[in-house]
Amino acid sequence: MRRALSAFFAGALFAVGLILGGMTQPGKVIGFLDFTGSWDPSLAFVMGGAVLVYAVLSRVWLRRTAPLFERKFHLPSRRDIDGRLILGAAIFGSGWGLGGYCPGPGLASLTAGRLPVIFVASMILGMFAERWIDKRVRTKGAAHA
Amino acid sequence: MEHFTPVSSLLGGALIGLAASILLLFNGRVAGISGILGGALTPAPGDTLWRLMFLLGLAGVGAVGALLRPAAFVAGPVQSPWLIAIAGLLVGYGTRLGNGCTSGHGVCGVSRLSPRSLLATATFLATGAITVFLAKHLLGGSP
């Protein structure tokens, strides 16, 4: 129960940060990515502020042997660079630039209009599609091996 | 530059960093939105409730914000539902294939100086900028 409450609080605070930072305005996001137009550097300040705070606090927290409500930290441990990472990031970036929404702001904007609903629904579809294709590629690979 | 909002953006960013830190301290989890959502779509025992609650907090405060400050949620230059649907498909597919988005790679990963996240962030910033450039010139919609 307390794990659910802390997660809820973190999600809620995350949304306040997104709204205050201007991330729920796709025009602002596209303005940041538009280097040949009237460039709006605001998003760099959002990222900078977030990285600064998280870099300091996460280093302090990770001196602990475990988080407060769980037995251990669940951190990504991979350090290898592969094609999936680069291709995935490239595809994500093109979708981000096209619509101006990344996953967090899309979810936070769900009740704000028709477009964010369409965005989130198709994003979820895209996630299922990736898992489905990935499974097929893997079973095919296993059959050939 | 007329829309430049350094103070509120820096503050908003700091709150995002604080929220991600809270999820790490209490739940031991990385606040990557695409990862949290993707994991919630393929439920595993004991691993789903915290995800749903995080997403509920995110969407719930977003809903309150949209009521109180509609100006903070204005639609962007791209208004075509079809283009937004394509954008959503690309974001969903790409974030799962690349294991992260602006929050997981761009904030949490970059903070840890993870080589994977640094490369992913440079990549999605680059393709995002290229897409905006192409969209501006091909679709003619000047943001």
pLDDT digits (tens, 9 = 90+) for A34-82: 988 889 999 999 999 999 999 999 999 999 999 999 999 999 988 899 9
Alpha carbon distance B62, B86 (integer Å): 23
Are residues B58 and A108, on separate chains, in Cβ contact within 8 Å? yes
From the list A68, A108, A111, which residue is nearest B26 (CB)? A68
Distance CA A59, CA B4 (A): 31
Position A143 confidence tier, pLDDT thresholds 50, 70, 90: low
pLDDT at B137 exceeding the cut of 90 = no
**pLDDT confidence band for B141 (50 / 70 / 90):** low
What percent of chain A lies above the pLDDT cut of 70? Answer: 97
Query: For residue A145, what pLDDT is reported?
Result: 52
Give the Cα separation of B16 and A24 in Å (integer): 13
Q: Using CA atoms, how far apart are residues B125 and A30, in angstroms rounded to an integer?
A: 11
Q: What pLDDT score does B1 carry? A: 43
| CA dihedral sign of residues B7, B120, A8, A67 | negative
Please check the confidence at residue A2 and state whether its pLDDT lies above 60.
yes
Q: How many beta-carbon pairs below 8 A join chains A and B? A: 501
User: What pLDDT shows up at residue A78?
Assistant: 87
| 8 Å CB contact of B12 and A22 | yes
DSSP 3-state of B134: helix
Mean pLDDT of A113-134: 97
Mean pLDDT of B16-43: 96
* Contact yes or no for B12 and A41 at CB 8 A: no
ipTM over 0.85: yes
- Does A113 sit within 8 Å of B3, measured CB to CB? no
- pLDDT value of residue B143: 46
Q: What is the pTM assigned to this prediction? A: 0.95
Q: Are A116 and A109 in contact (CB under 8 A)?
A: yes
Residue B43, helix vs strand vs coil? coil
User: Between the CA of residue B83 and those of A42, A103, A119, what are the distances in Å?
Assistant: 25, 16, 9
Q: Nearest by CB to B123, which of A10, A45, A90? A: A90
Instruction: State phi, psi for A33 to the nearest 5 degrees.
Output: -80, -5
- B98 vs A88: CB contact, 8 Å cut-off? yes
Q: Which residues contact A50 (CB under 8 A, 6 or more apart)?
A: A17, B13, B14, B16, B17, B20, B107
Write down the pLDDT at residue A37: 83
pLDDT over 80 (residue A144): no
Query: How many C-beta atoms lie closer than 10 Å to residue A5's C-beta?
Result: 14
| pLDDT surpassing 80 at residue B88 | yes
| B35 touches A67 (CB < 8 A) | no
Q: From the CA of B41, how many Å to the nearest CA of chain A?
A: 8
